[in-house]
A and B are shown apart, each in its own frame.
Chain A
Amino acid sequence: MNVITAPAWLFWLPAAIALAAACAGLAADAAGRRAGALAIIFFGLAGAAGVAAYTAWMHPVQLALGDAFVVGRGFAGVAALGYLIAALGVLAGGSRLSRRSNGPGIGALMAFLAIASQALASALDLLSVLIALEIVAVGSYAVIAGARTDRSDEAAVRYFVQGAVATSLAVLGLALVHAFGGGAVDYGTLAVTMAQAPARPALLAMALLLAVFAFKLGAFPFHAWVPDAYETSEASGAAVLSSVPKVAALAAMFVLFRGAVFEADAFAVLANLAAALATASIVVGNLGALRQSSFARMLGYSGIAQVGYALIGLSAGDAGAGRAVLFGATYAVSVAAAFICAEALAVAEPRWNGTVAGMKGLGRRHPLIGVALAASMLSLTGIPLLIGFWGKLLVFLSAVGEGWTWLVIVGVIGSVVSFGYYGRVLKVAYFEEPDEALAVLGDEPGARGGSAAWAAAIAILLVIGGGVAPVAFGIEPMLRLLAVM
Chain B
Amino acid sequence: MFVVALPVLVPLAGLALVVLLGRDDARARVLSVIATLATIAASVVLLLEWRGSDGILAWVAEGPSAVPVARLAADGLALPLVLLTALLGFVAVLASWTVTSRVRTHYALLLALQAAVTTVFLADDLVLFYVAWEAVLIPMFFLIGGWGHERRRHAAMKFFLYTFAGSALMLVGLLLIIFWGGGTTDLGAEVEALPTHVQTAVFWLLAAGMLVKLPVIGVHTWLPDAHTEAPTAGSVMLAGVLLKMGGYGLMRVAVPYAPQAFADAAWVLAVLGVGGIVYGAFLAFGQTDIKRLVAYSSVAHMGFVVLAIATGTALGYGAAMLGMVSHGLVAGLLFFLVGALYERTRTREMARLRGLVAAVPRWGGVFVFATLASLGLPGLSGFPGEFLTLAEAFSRWGGWIAVAGVGVVMAAVYGLAAVRRIGHGADAPEAACRDLTGREWLAAAVLGLPIVALGVAPGLVLSATERAFSALAAIGGGF
Contacts and interface: CB of A to CB of B under 8 A. Distances in A.
Contacts of B179: 397, 400-401
B131 A473 contact: no
A430 B146 CA distance: 7
Interface stretch (A1-9, A140-148, A407-415): A407-415
B53 to A, nearest CB: 25
Interface string B152-168: 11001100110011001
Nearest to A412: B168
Interface residues of B, number: 39
B175 interface: yes
A396 B172 contact: yes
A420 interface: yes
Interface in A401-433: 401, 405, 408-409, 412-413, 415-416, 419-420, 423-424, 426-427, 430-432
Contacts of A431: 145-146, 152-153, 156
B178 A397 contact: yes
A475 B70 contact: no
B64 A477 contact: yes
B175 A408 contact: yes
B169 A409 contact: yes
A383 B134 contact: yes
Interface in A452-485: 470-477
Contacts of A385: 131, 134-135, 138
Contacts of A378: 138
Contacts of A476: 64-67
A181 B68 CA distance: 47
A413 B67 contact: no
Interface string B118-135: 000000000110111011
B185 to A, nearest CB: 10
A257 interface: no
Given A383-B138, A431-B145, A472 B172 contact: no
B130 A384 contact: yes
A396 B175 contact: yes
A430 B142 contact: yes
A473 B152 CA distance: 37
A420 B171 CA distance: 19
A249 B50 CA distance: 53
B161 A423 contact: yes
Nearest to B169: A412
Contacts of A415: 164, 168
A471 B128 contact: yes
A396 B161 contact: no
Nearest to A382: B168
B63 A472 contact: yes
A58 interface: no
B186 to A, nearest CB: 13
A427 B135 contact: no
A389 interface: yes
Contacts of B168: 412-413, 415-416
B225 to A, nearest CB: 14
B15 interface: no
Contacts of A409: 169, 172
Q: Which of B68, B160, B171 counts the most chain A CB atoms within 10 A? A: B171
B176 A400 contact: yes
B171 A383 contact: no
Contacts of A419: 160-161, 164
B242 to A, nearest CB: 16
Contacts of B67: 474-476
Nearest to A467: B131
A393 interface: yes
A476 B61 CA distance: 14
Interface string A431-456: 11000000000000000000000000
B375 interface: no
B295 interface: no
Interface string A378-397: 10010111000100010011
A409 B204 CA distance: 13
Interface string B54-65: 000000010111
B406 interface: no
Interface in A136-163: none
A326 B175 CA distance: 18
A400 B65 contact: no
A467 B153 CA distance: 26
Given A416-B168, A427-B145, A473-B63, A400 B175 contact: yes
B68 A474 contact: yes
A212 to B, nearest CB: 32
B43 to A, nearest CB: 21
Nearest to A476: B65
A397 B176 CA distance: 8
Contacts of A408: 172, 175
A43 B156 CA distance: 42
A202 to B, nearest CB: 32
Contacts of B178: 397, 400
Nearest to A400: B175
Contact of A423 (B70, B131, B160): B160
B197 to A, nearest CB: 11
B201 interface: yes
Contacts of B142: 430
B69 interface: yes
Nearest to B134: A384
A400 B138 contact: no
Contacts of A475: 65, 67, 69
Nearest to B176: A400
Contacts of B171: 393, 396, 412
Interface in B7-63: 61, 63
Contacts of B131: 384-385, 389, 471
B258 interface: no
B169 A477 contact: no
A402 to B, nearest CB: 9
A409 B152 CA distance: 30
Contact of B66 (A383, A412, A474): A474
Contacts of B63: 472-474
Nearest to A408: B172
Contact of A393 (B65, B127, B132, B176): B127
Nearest to B64: A473
A476 B164 CA distance: 27
B70 A471 contact: yes
Contacts of B127: 393
Interface in A58-97: none
Nearest to A428: B153
21 contacts: A383-B164, A384-B135, A385-B134, A393-B171, A396-B171, A397-B179, A400-B172, A400-B176, A409-B172, A412-B171, A419-B160, A427-B156, A430-B145, A430-B146, A431-B145, A432-B153, A472-B70, A474-B66, A474-B68, A474-B69, A474-B70
Interface of B: 61, 63-70, 127-128, 130-132, 134-135, 137-138, 141-142, 145-146, 152-153, 156-157, 160-161, 164-165, 168-169, 171-172, 175-176, 178-179, 201
Interface of A: 378, 381, 383-385, 389, 393, 396-397, 400-401, 405, 408-409, 412-413, 415-416, 419-420, 423-424, 426-427, 430-432, 470-477
Given A383-B134, A432-B153, 13 more contacts: A393-B175, A396-B175, A400-B175, A401-B179, A409-B172, A412-B169, A412-B171, A416-B168, A427-B153, A430-B146, A474-B66, A474-B67, A475-B67
6 residue pairs, one from A and one from B, having the closest CB atoms: A474-B65, A412-B168, A384-B131, A431-B145, A476-B65, A400-B175
